[in-house]
Amino acid sequence: MKSNFYSIKKKLIVPIILAQFFLFQTFILVAFAQSGVINSLESNMQTFGPGFMQDAGLAVQDNIIEETQPTKKQTKKKAKNEIDPNSANDKTFANKRIIRKVANANDPIGLVGYEPEEVTHIFFHTLTVDPKRAYKSAEAKGYNSNMATVDEFKKILQQLYDNNYCLVKLHDLASIKYYENGSLPNFVKKVSTASNIEKAPLRNPIDPKQEKSYTPYEVLRKKVYVPIGKTPLIISQDDVNYYHYMDGSGHANRLVIDNGEIKAAYKDKSGNELIGDYDLIPILDSFIKEHPDFSYNGARAIIALTGYNGVFGYRTDETYDINSSYFKASNKKTPNENIEEDREYARRIAKVLHDRGYEFASHSWGHRNFTTSSFSILKTDCERWKRNVESLLPIPCDTIIYPFGADIAGEEAYTDEVSRFTMLKNFGFRFFCNVDSNMYWVQIGNDYLRQGRRNIDGFRMWEALSGGKNRLSDLFDVLSVFDSNRPTPISQ
Ligand SMILES: [Zn+2]
């Protein structure tokens, strides 16, 4: 830690000294906690607000975005899910404590099984390549708070690997069993008589006339296997769209296929376009090439896509198509005359990613807030996403990563009483991810799996460094990762 500390630039000295003070305070706390000398100091360390981090600020340039803040109702609901600083549960973050399970007799040789509830899920946004440019740009505050830098991400990967984490897929947590030819899952039989089956899980609010084409299914939990000594980890990346508003801000601008590999294109400050490891996907691929045991069974990351600015940096959306009735007047200056070629290229990128082990998720077409948007807005949005984004993917998508982390329900189970859930099911969604700062949060129902995710970004790292709760200590050492170019303090 010492060498890292002394390599940090002058401007960080004061915050780091502060951080050290708090680390020292933590040491004192740990030393005295058991003797009961200090109890109240713990509360002094909770200097930051809601741990329920919003996936905020990334798409605010577009006027289709409605909200950037959680509703009171939602915050309250999620607050129940927060770690109570006084509960025993909170101690999971007090010390680095990685769950490492021991294989038992039922596990296949060489492997160890984890329950889905024991799998942690972290996520990133587009990585900042040039912090100096990003933190001087118009969106500096958002980049500093919501993004990790390329430099930080490389260090984080190395430390996750050194801590024996190993990537698994979201689809390793559960499988979907479909019931064809009129048969029904047991849970439906148990709760339904012949007359009410039609009303509950088989209802199709999108098109009631299609009720009979809806195939019943059941979500079946699975044990998640990794080699003995490893701890399973899921990584996702949100908004892999390379929005217009990010142009020239020190971030990659699109993905490209380069000799069969997915790389990122990036314009440096002199305007030279470079192709290389300038975002999460190529960096992760290069890392796994060197450390194949960082991935079990070919798992990579989940790529969450919106639609309104196209995907992977290509303006593939119908709103850029002058021949489409959806062509948007505000895109007059940037119509895409090569839209069919770009869609084909995006399809090729998606296929390479899929073959590599990447999974895909809907992040909604218009970066919608699923808590507050109306049923009809969400339904139209899902249709647009399927038409413009799923059509570019090699397989149908069954996963939603909620924009802003804004879920359709609180921590109570999803049921068909929640019409949005029934709608999303009928669109084919089975896996639902919100944002939650707990180490683990997984809920499995008969017809869905929900998982909370943890944001890794400037805000969360600064929280740990400045004497707030360190919610990252089970993953990596924040002090040795934090980019010294970041202006501090960092608020949400
Ligand atoms: Zn987002």
Using the 3D structure, point to which of 102, 130, 149 is the last residue of a domain.
102
- Strand residues in 288-366 grouped as ranges (E): 301-305, 359-362
Same domain membership, residue 122 and residue 98: no
Ligand 1 centroid to Cα of residue 373, in Å, is 15
CA 102, 107, 108, 109 torsion-angle sign: positive
Q: What is the pLDDT of residue 267?
A: 97
Half-sphere exposure of 210 (CA within 13 A, CB side): 10
Q: Is the pLDDT of residue 22 over 90?
A: no
Same domain membership, residue 415 and residue 331: yes
Ligand 1 centroid to Cα of residue 237, in Å, is 9
Same domain membership, residue 70 and residue 198: no
Residue 304 located in a structural domain: yes
Same domain membership, residue 71 and residue 192: no
Same domain membership, residue 122 and residue 68: no
More confident residue, 39 or 275: 275
What separation in angstroms does the CA of 5 have from each of 18, 63, 84?
13, 43, 31
Q: Is the pLDDT of residue 23 over 70?
A: no
Q: What is the CA radius of gyration of the chain?
A: 23
416-447 as b/e, with b when 16 or more CB fall inside 10 Å? eeeebbbbbbbbbbbbbbbbbbbbbbbbbebb
**Confidence bin at 59 (pLDDT 50/70/90):** very low
Residue 108 located in a structural domain: no
Q: What is the pLDDT of residue 184?
A: 74
Using the 3D structure, point to which of 74, 102, 130 is the last residue of a domain.
102
364-403 as b/e, with b when 16 or more CB fall inside 10 Å? bbbbbbbbbbeeebbbebbebbbebbbebbeeebbbbbbb
Residue 370 located in a structural domain: yes
Cα–Cα distance, 320 to 318 (Å, whole number)? 5
Q: What is the pLDDT of residue 191?
A: 55
Same domain membership, residue 128 and residue 91: no
How would you class 156 by CB atoms within 10 Å of its CB: exposed for 0-12, middle for 13-18, buried for 19 or more? buried
Segment 76-86 shows an average pLDDT of 34
Ligand 1 centroid to Cα of residue 401, in Å, is 8
Strand 359-362 to strand 431-435: parallel, antiparallel, or no bridges (unpaired)? unpaired
Segment 137-142 shows an average pLDDT of 95
Q: What is the pTM of this model?
A: 0.80
Ligand 1 centroid to Cα of residue 229, in Å, is 34
Ligand 1 centroid to Cα of residue 293, in Å, is 30
DSSP string, 441-491: -EEEETTEEEEEEEE-SHHHHHHHHTTS--TTTTT--HHHHS-TTS-SS--
Cα–Cα distance, 37 to 66 (Å, whole number)? 49
Q: Is the pLDDT of residue 333 over 90?
A: no
Q: Is the pLDDT of residue 55 over 50?
A: no
Same domain membership, residue 435 and residue 308: yes
Ligand 1 centroid to Cα of residue 369, in Å, is 10
Q: Is the pLDDT of residue 127 over 70?
A: yes
Ligand 1 centroid to Cα of residue 246, in Å, is 13
Give the structural domain span for 79.
Answer: 2-102
Q: What is the pLDDT of residue 77?
A: 38
Same domain membership, residue 120 and residue 67: no
Ligand 1 centroid to Cα of residue 403, in Å, is 5
Ligand 1 centroid to Cα of residue 197, in Å, is 36
Residue 107 located in a structural domain: no
Q: Which of 49, 77, 59 is nearest to 366 (CA)?
A: 59
Using the 3D structure, point to which of 102, 132, 149 is the last residue of a domain.
102
Same domain membership, residue 86 and residue 136: no
Same domain membership, residue 292 and residue 148: yes
Ligand 1 centroid to Cα of residue 57, in Å, is 8
User: Strand pairing partners for 448?
Assistant: 445
* Highest mean pLDDT: which range of 1-10, 214-223, 436-445: 436-445
Residue 449 located in a structural domain: yes
Ligand 1 centroid to Cα of residue 269, in Å, is 26
Residue 152: which residues within 8 A CB-CB, separation 6 or more? 461, 481, 482, 483
Average per-residue pLDDT in the chain? 80
Q: Which of 50, 44, 90, 84 is nearest to 70 (CA)?
A: 50
Ligand 1 centroid to Cα of residue 30, in Å, is 37
Same domain membership, residue 129 and residue 75: no
Ligand 1 centroid to Cα of residue 22, in Å, is 32
Ligand 1 centroid to Cα of residue 65, in Å, is 11
Ligand 1 centroid to Cα of residue 452, in Å, is 15
Domain count, the chain: 2
Ligand 1 centroid to Cα of residue 309, in Å, is 13
Ligand 1 centroid to Cα of residue 58, in Å, is 6
Residue 411: which residues within 8 A CB-CB, separation 6 or more? 77, 78, 80, 81, 443
CATH of the domain at 253: 3.20.20.370
Same domain membership, residue 87 and residue 134: no
Residue 214 located in a structural domain: yes
Ligand 1 centroid to Cα of residue 473, in Å, is 25
Ligand 1 centroid to Cα of residue 4, in Å, is 32
Cα dihedral 85/88/93/94 (nearest 10) = 90
Cα–Cα distance, 356 to 301 (Å, whole number)? 10
What separation in angstroms does the CA of 251 have from each of 14, 143, 157, 302?
29, 10, 19, 20
State CA 335 to chain mean position distance: 30
Q: Which two tokens stand for residue 137?
A: 């740009």
Residue 486 located in a structural domain: no
Per-residue pLDDT of 95-114, as tens digits, reads: 445 667 888 888 888 999 99
Ligand 1 centroid to Cα of residue 412, in Å, is 24
Segment 49-66 shows an average pLDDT of 33
Ligand 1 centroid to Cα of residue 308, in Å, is 12
Q: Is the pLDDT of residue 189 over 80?
A: no
Ligand 1 centroid to Cα of residue 55, in Å, is 5
Residue 492 located in a structural domain: no
